[in-house]
Amino acid sequence: MMRIVAAGAALALAALSLTACAPGAAAGRSDVGVQLFQMPWTALADECESTLGPAGYGWVLTSPPQESIAGEEWWVSYQPVSYRLESRLGTRDEFADMVKRCDAAGVDIIADAVINHMSGQSEPGTGFAGSAYEHDRYPGLYEPADFHDCGLTGDNDIRDYRDREQVQNCELVNLADLDTAAPHVRDTIVAYLNDLLSLGVAGFRIDAAKHIAATDVEAIVAELPDDAIIMSEVIRGSGEPVLPEEYLAAGSVFEFTYARDLGIQFVAGAFTEPDLSTERPQHVPSDQAIVFVDNHDTERGESQITYRDGDTYAMANVLMLADDYGTPVVYSGYAYTDRDMGAPTTASGTIEPVTCAEGARGPQDFADGERTCVHAWDAVAPMVKFRIAVGDAARMPGVTVADAYGFEREGKGAVAVNQGTDEVALTLSTSMPDGIYCDVLVADCAATFAVKDGAVTFTMAPGQSAAIHVDARG
């Protein structure tokens, strides 16, 4: 279903000719992605084969694969010092092998492309793989002239997000800001992205896209093959001039409003029925929106709900995955108490290759560093097949009973969540065929619900989600 707002129409058309391949689903696959934050390549390959492929996930967003500054914190990944694919997450060969194995399991790889900036270091140093660098000098890649010197804020750091020029030409937390309008810089970035594509990646998250002029992102993307998938990270900020809509000509964008709207409903303890008859306000068109409950930044920042919220977090994921808006990406990282703490490392300083094949299948009290494995939770993973089963069936008006809420995807599936502290029985009318259906959120069809005379009643304990669909009859 195309939903184009008037102002976005010209951009959306341009998108078709440029690239803007939506993440879309291959036959029998879902459009659902998972961000496997700081999961090293060998583990990620195993994860594709053991968990993601069988569950029907369509794609994985990786952490940045390029060489970075050396260090223990997770965020060293966001300080490139070269485009060699050598990092704490693995070697070039391991990355290439991972892409192949995931592809064979039916899972596409979206690489996190850090192209707005290089390191944020003031002193010269040596990167993880041995590359020497200075703040604005990366031998063989960039010279000082390849960086912006915004001259607007004294130390060149961004101060005022209401000033477009500062946002795009000054430094984000001291990160050396590439002059992405310069031909040499563009060519160098395009060569890096093409190198990743040559290894089989399907596309990219454009990190910090808000800090790159949309025209520069477009020009870079125009040099890539037409089917490269682009997801620009443009955090919608109130009162800010740089809008996610500007980046639709280059592909999809992460729609932060979606996560915010979802979070509010759990904090307020009340569900709001979206107005399905009109465009959602402050949202890009559905077919160009990447939606999420949280990500590695928002779980350390603005997100109202994270893995720590247990059942509530599962409910938020269930509602997102049952929805008809956007392309969803489930976030799966590791537990932490210190926001800077990196994932656990081996003696040689690489990230421990831990997978979720034997990991958590539900919320629990995680120890620091333990992977949360949210994508494998019993109350989350089966929603991927729910999504395949319902396809583009309409989202029907929702029903609220006490602190529970649910809705049908017309004739194909139905879902409900109970965020109250009492058991709730919630009845939805449905055009699904009469019969007994598995509650897919309970393992092994150990619980069922009956559709009878055009209705289903979900009886749910506090914190419970329930879902049925036409591909899982009891």
Smaller CB separation from Ca ion, 207 or 287: 207
Total number of residues binding ligand LM2 (CB under 6 A)? 13
**How far is the C-alpha of 34 from the C-alpha of 332, rounded, in Å?**
7
**How far is the C-alpha of 126 from the C-alpha of 81, rounded, in Å?**
8
**How far is the C-alpha of 251 from the C-alpha of 222, rounded, in Å?**
11
Partner interacting with residue 177 (select from Ca ion, ligand LM2, none; CB below 5-8 Å by kind): Ca ion
By CB under 6 A, tell whether 153 contacts ligand LM2: no
The answer to whether 95 touches 41, Cβ cutoff 8 Å, is yes
Partner interacting with residue 174 (select from Ca ion, ligand LM2, none; CB below 5-8 Å by kind): ligand LM2
- Which H or E element spans position 468? strand 465-469
Can you point out the beta strands (E) in 165-227? 203-206
By CB under 5 A, tell whether 207 contacts Ca ion: no
Q: Which stretch binds Ca ion (CB under 5 A): 2-10, 115-123, 224-232, 283-291?
A: 115-123
The answer to whether 89 touches 57, Cβ cutoff 8 Å, is no
3-state helix, strand, coil in the chain (%, to 5): 30, 20, 50
Q: Which stretch binds ligand LM2 (CB under 6 A): 101-109, 171-179, 187-195, 361-369?
A: 171-179
List the one residue from 177, 216, 255, 323 that touches Ca ion (CB under 5 A).
Answer: 177
By CB under 6 A, tell whether 208 contacts ligand LM2: yes
List the one residue from 14, 75, 344, 443 that touches ligand LM2 (CB under 6 A).
Answer: 75
Of the CA atoms within 13 Å of residue 72, those in its CB half-sphere come to 9
Q: Among this protein's residues, is 233 annotated catalytic?
A: yes
Catalytic residue of the set 46, 108, 146, 207: 207
Beta bridge partners of 435: 451
Total number of residues binding Ca ion (CB under 5 A)? 4
Work out the burial of residue 157: count CB atoms within 10 Å of its CB; fewer than 13 is exposed, 13-18 middle, 19 or more buried.
middle
Q: Please give the residue whose beta carbon sits closest to ligand LM2 in the complex.
A: 120
Identify residue 297 by its one-letter amino acid code. Answer: D
Partner interacting with residue 120 (select from Ca ion, ligand LM2, none; CB below 5-8 Å by kind): ligand LM2
Catalytic residue of the set 233, 255, 287, 408: 233
The answer to whether 329 touches 18, Cβ cutoff 8 Å, is no
Place of tokens 């009878």: 452
Q: Which stretch binds ligand LM2 (CB under 6 A): 6-14, 71-79, 217-225, 408-416?
A: 71-79
Beta bridge partners of 414: 408, 468
Partner interacting with residue 254 (select from Ca ion, ligand LM2, none; CB below 5-8 Å by kind): none
Smaller CB separation from ligand LM2, 233 or 311: 233
Q: Which stretch binds Ca ion (CB under 5 A): 169-177, 233-241, 278-286, 422-430?
A: 169-177
374: phi then psi, degrees, rounded to nearest 5: -55, -35
- Could you tell me the smallest distance in angstroms from the CB atom of residue 253 to ligand LM2? 12
The answer to whether 33 touches 231, Cβ cutoff 8 Å, is no
Q: Which stretch binds ligand LM2 (CB under 6 A): 172-180, 193-201, 355-363, 366-374?
A: 172-180
Smaller CB separation from ligand LM2, 172 or 404: 172
The answer to whether 119 touches 133, Cβ cutoff 8 Å, is yes
Work out the burial of residue 261: count CB atoms within 10 Å of its CB; fewer than 13 is exposed, 13-18 middle, 19 or more buried.
middle
- Could you tell me the smallest distance in angstroms from the CB atom of residue 149 to Ca ion? 12
- Could you tell me the smallest distance in angstroms from the CB atom of residue 320 to ligand LM2? 20
- Could you tell me the smallest distance in angstroms from the CB atom of residue 254 to Ca ion? 18
**How far is the C-alpha of 455 from the C-alpha of 303, rounded, in Å?**
35
Pairing of the two strands 59-61 and 132-133: unpaired
Beta bridge partners of 198: none
- Could you tell me the smallest distance in angstroms from the CB atom of residue 208 to Ca ion? 7
User: Under the rule (CB under 6 A), what is the footprint of ligand LM2?
Assistant: 75, 78-79, 114, 120, 172-175, 207-208, 233, 297
User: Under the rule (CB under 5 A), what is the footprint of Ca ion?
Assistant: 116, 168, 177, 211
* Active site residues per annotation: 207, 233
